[in-house]
Structures are given as structure tokens and as C-alpha cells.
Amino acid sequence: MKSPLLALPGAVAAEGPDEGVAAHYGDLFREQRALAAGRGFVDLSHRGVITATGPDRLSWLHLLLTQHVSELPPQHATEALVLSPNGHVEHALYLVDDGETTWIHVEPGDAPALVKYLESMKFWNRVEVADATEQYAVVFLPAGSTAPVERAAAVRELPWGRDLFLPRAELAAAAEEFGPAAGVWAYEALRVEGHRPRLGFETDHRTIPHEVDWLGSAVHLQKGCYRGQETVARVHNLGRPPRRLVFLHLDGTEEKLPAHGAEVRVEGQERPVGFVTSSARHHELGPIALALVKRNTPVDAVLLADGVPGTQDVIVPA
């Protein structure tokens, strides 16, 4: 779904998973600095939007998701996962409930598959699920922004900003009230800096939540009764995940950024120990990346990400 905000001056369209919105508007670092200072907005209108209504919506979602949502207070933002029977991550949901409707946004293109799964699990529950992507768009406002949010149908308040569920028909008009536009490259650089995993970037077909630090934000360890819960409990109580997410400070003398999926090796060794999940150019830190590596990779080892040296910050303990 192509955003009307691609018509803004300087807009350069993103490619790949973020196709449909702007990668940047001509000055990546200026856009990052504005967001870090609480100014501007990011067009995330390519993301999928799902709504759930009905009196049983929260108790029903509670049975399906990794998060405790049966008593989710109105306006309280949370995130959750849908796992496979073997505990592998299939969907990542970012949600808020307004007292009548649960609003969810997901990765671009993921809404149809998730809605299909949710529909198949309704059974006798009094709940209605809808793919509302054509009606609503997601817009991000950074922490500290004083932009008006009255146009939004729902708002997710987060430590680093706010996600607005905005009527899509009002997207272009509302953007004029939000300040300077920043592209998804700026948003991604701040996400990587914040160690926040993203489905399809930090995950592959065998990722379990422990590997990418989702236990703290998207999994409630005291609840059961959801698909994949046995794996979550077993790894948490009896072992450690086979891989761990790391943050890399990359050598700034290299011009290239390692691409998603690029091999990661320990310096001086030939055998890969993992792969790059996300990389970005940060306005203060320079080139940075997230990578998924084998758990036993030494935490003090210099890693080569597609040949670019980088030192590690531990996210998931070894």
C-alpha cells in the first residue's frame, strides 16, 4: 500500500519489507536527530492494522498470545507473540485496548495470515476480528513530541514515543500537524540502538523468544495455556537458548553496512557463528548492527559482520 506521504519534498521510497513508505527525506542524520529530540514523525502506514471487538476479545486473546492480556487496562500498551506448537515465533503483535476495541499493528503484509489464524480460533467466543489496514494507518511520534493526537482512533504510549492508529483518509492532512517527516531509516537506526527486535529481521523460522530478548517485553512467564508455552517454560527453567542477540559497534572506517543475513564470524576464524539481522548508520554511534550468534560465542570476541569488525554489547546473556 503506497503512502500519500511519498509525495512530500525529498521523499525517497524504501525498498524490501518497508516498501510503500519513505526511507528518508533527504537527510538521514537530521531526521534521526529530530526524532531523538522529540520532533517530527515517522510514516509507518505500510504496517498492517487488525482490530478485535466483542466482550470476549481480551480473554480470548489471552489464550492465544504469549502475553497476559485478559485484564489489560484501557490505553495500556503491550506487545505479544503468536508461537508455533514448537515455540517458534510466527507473529509479533503491538497492541492497545481502548475499552471497546483491541487495536493491533503488525509487520507489513502479515495481517492477512494473522487474521486467518485468529478467525480459525474463535470457536464460541464473542469476538469479531477485522483486517483494518485499508481504513487505518500507523504513525509514530517520538517521546517528547507535543503534536496533537486527537485525529487518532487509538494511541499506544511507549517509553520511546507513541504509535497512532490514524484514519487512513486523514493521513496526509494530519502529517502537516506532526512536524518534519522522518523516514524509516531513521526510525530503524533508533530501533537498533534500542535493541528492539523486529519480526523477519531478528527472527527466522526457528527463532524462540528467549534468543532475541522478547521474554521481557512480549512474554509473560507466569501464564500458560498458549501454543508453544511448553518450549518457553522448558528453555527458561532448564536451559539456555541456542542463540543470542548481540549489539555490534561496527568499524566506522568501512564504507559498507553489512546486509541482513550477512555472515558473522569471530575474528581469526573461518566458520560463521551467526548472521546480521539489522544494520544502520546512527547519528551519534556511527555504523551499528544487531546480530544473532551462537550462545557460546565469547562475549569479548571481535566479530566480523560481512568482513566489517565490530565489538559486542551483550543483550541476551551467554
**What span, in angstroms and rounded, lies between the C-alpha atoms of 151 and 3?**
18
Query: Any idea where the domains of the chain sit in the sequence?
Result: 4-47+135-194, 48-131, 242-317
What's the fold here for domain 48-131?
Alpha-Beta Plaits (3.30.70)
Q: What is the pLDDT of residues 77-125, one digit of tens each?
A: 999 999 999 999 999 999 999 999 999 999 999 999 999 999 999 999 9
Contact between residue 140 and residue 44 where contact means Cβ atoms under 8 Å apart: yes
As a whole number, mean pLDDT of residues 291-296 equals 97
Which residue is associated with the grid cell 503491538? 94
Class of the domain covering 242-317: mainly beta
pTM of the model: 0.96
Q: Do domains 48-131 and 242-317 have the same CATH topology?
A: no
Work out whether the CA dihedral 227, 229, 235, 238 comes out positive or negative. negative
pLDDT at 267 exceeding the cut of 80: yes
Q: Which residues lie below 8 Å from residue 39, measured CB to CB, with a gap of 6+?
A: 142, 144, 145, 179, 180
Mean pLDDT of 197-211: 97
60, 41 contact by CB (below 8 A): no
Report which DSSP code applies to 268.
T
Contact 50, 111 (CB under 8 A): yes
pLDDT at residue number 225: 86
For 101-139, letters b (16+ CB in 10 Å) and e give bbbbbbbbbbbeebbeebeeeeeeeebebbbbbeebbbb
Share of the chain above pLDDT 70, in %: 100
Q: What proportion of the chain, given as a percentage, has pLDDT over 90? A: 95
pLDDT, residue 23, reads 98
